[in-house]
Amino acid sequence: MNQQIQVHPWHSNPDWWRGAAIYQIYPRSFQDTNGDGVGDLPGITTRLPYIADLGVDAIWISPFFTSPMKDFGYDVSDFRNVDPIFGTLADFDQLVEKAHQLGLKVLIDQVLSHTSDQHPWFKESRSSREGEKADWYIWADPRPDGTPPNNWQSVFGGSAWAWDSRRRQYYLHNFLTSQPDLNFHHQPAQDQLLEESRFWLERGVDGFRFDACNFYFHDLRLRNNPPAKLKDSQLSTVRPGNPYGFQIHKHDKSQPETLPFLKRLRVLLDEYGAVGVGEVGDEDSLPTMAEYTADGDKLHMAYGFKLFTTEFSAGRIREVVGEFEKHIKPGNGWGCWSLSNHDCVRVVTRWGKGTNGTDDPAFAKILMAMLSALRGSFCIYQGEELGLPEAEVPFDRLVDPYGISFWPDYLGRDGCRTPIPWTAGAPHGGFSEVEPWLPLPSEHLPKSVETQSLSPGSVLHFNQNFLAWRRTQIPLCRGSIRFLAAEEPVLAIERKADGQRLIAVFNLGPDPAQFTLPARINALTGHGLEEARVEGRQLYLPPWGGFFGQGE
């Protein structure tokens, strides 16, 4: 370990995470420095000044641990090491040191709910029903006819149970068959996972994004899940046609035993002044997010998928955020909102298709402004600051097992994971000197970092200026929230903190819109959105326009 690294040498504000802007890095596609076509940790380190200039508070790095890469790092075979394709532990230490020098916090993914089937723990567990690690994973006998123990489904389609001929039992896998689930009901497994997290805290990380944290515990009685009603299936967070959406997931996740374990996690995090963000993947995720962040003794923030759907309207955003606010206790609970990540279609394509906003820079700008005006912290997925659309990856270049299984009805997650275009004129957009692991689409090159850096009106320039401006607005960072009545496509928000009242109004449509302000409001400048016109209390918003104002 680099002995110069200090744990939180500049950690002066323990509540820095409230209202923080967090930049998500998908390491495989960020920057390749060793010429193998795959991004790496030294590549992230070289680009940290760019991220710091963007004006975010922290980075979240998707998994870089040793892995057979069946699910591209979300199948860990060694929690305490860096996979050689990404570099070494020394490279990670240098990354943390550089990030801290630039004032960036470092959060890393912790995939605790499952491991790779290549992990030594699982190899030992499957070898015998009597060994030390026999109960570290979820094993169950077949039913009398040899079929799986119950009807639970995998997120990636098909039964969540896989037969193992060595133990002559089924093991549970909520994702790929090569991702067996750990048994959190077994105390030694819990204890060891806490120690795996401590290892990275000792190396100086500022916190974790806990992947699939509501999958930690299962129903010990292995009861069948009830079938979903048609409307539940249609609203499922998984793709249409996946049988996972045909059930109400009452027994295979989001169990009450999760809460005591989250309290154990919080004790560990508090020991290091670190922060925990929990990913909650559930149809009824909002009350679970509120529960997991309640009372200041579990997670600091919770991250959900409710804004990852194709439905886009001011009403939808009010509904999602408003429901979360209803479930939290007064002054308690904290969300972490996002419009894109490595698992879903990029937002300017997902929401822009029906509104002709995909290629309109103003659309990308208004989405970022709107996201940052919600109560909570928020994540920016790499490339979102450039307004990148979803890439079209041909079938012969697909590598995502989820996409390959469901193609052509579902194209998978590769389209949002293509490399970042750094320089339009360089080979492969400046990402790598060789052909990347996923093709970099030609339509992304005009949106490269270099190109946008030279254009004052670009999406990148807007985001740099806007995020710097937002830091000066206390109500936007940590104030209360109230939605004001407004007709589609207008979203109007009131934020209050420390006696300051801020009004934010967004036109989420491609045509001009009007809104009547609740009082005479003084317009705020410097945010970089196209200026709205105010006449008394009447506000005239341009297409994809926004307004920030301050009042008593």
Q: Per the structure block, which two tokens stand in for 214?
A: 């509501």
Helix, strand, coil percent values for the chain (each to nearest 5)? 30, 20, 50
Q: Is 396 exposed, middle or buried (0-12, 13-18, 19+ CB in 10 A)?
A: exposed
User: Hey, which residues are catalytic here?
Assistant: 211, 271
Single-letter amino acid, residue 365: K
**Contacts for 321 with CB less than 8 Å, ≥ 6 apart:** 335, 337, 374, 375, 481, 483
Handedness of CA 313, 314, 315, 321 (dihedral sign): positive
Residue 283: CB atoms within 10 Å:
19
Q: What strands lie across the sheet with 546-551, from one edge to the other?
A: 480-484, 490-497, 500-507, 546-551, 522-523
Q: Point out which residues pair with 221 in neighbouring strands.
A: none
Q: Point out which residues pair with 490 in neighbouring strands.
A: 507
Alpha-helical segments (H) within 75-159: 89-101, 120-127
DSSP-assigned letters across all residues of 462-496: HHHHHHHHHTT-HHHHH-EEEEEP--TTEEEEEEE
* Coil/strand/helix, residue 210: strand
* Coil/strand/helix, residue 356: coil
Q: How far is CA 472 from CA 193, 309, 487, in A?
A: 39, 31, 29
In angstroms, how far is the first alpha carbon of the chain from the final one? 53
Strand intervals (E) in 358-475: 377-381
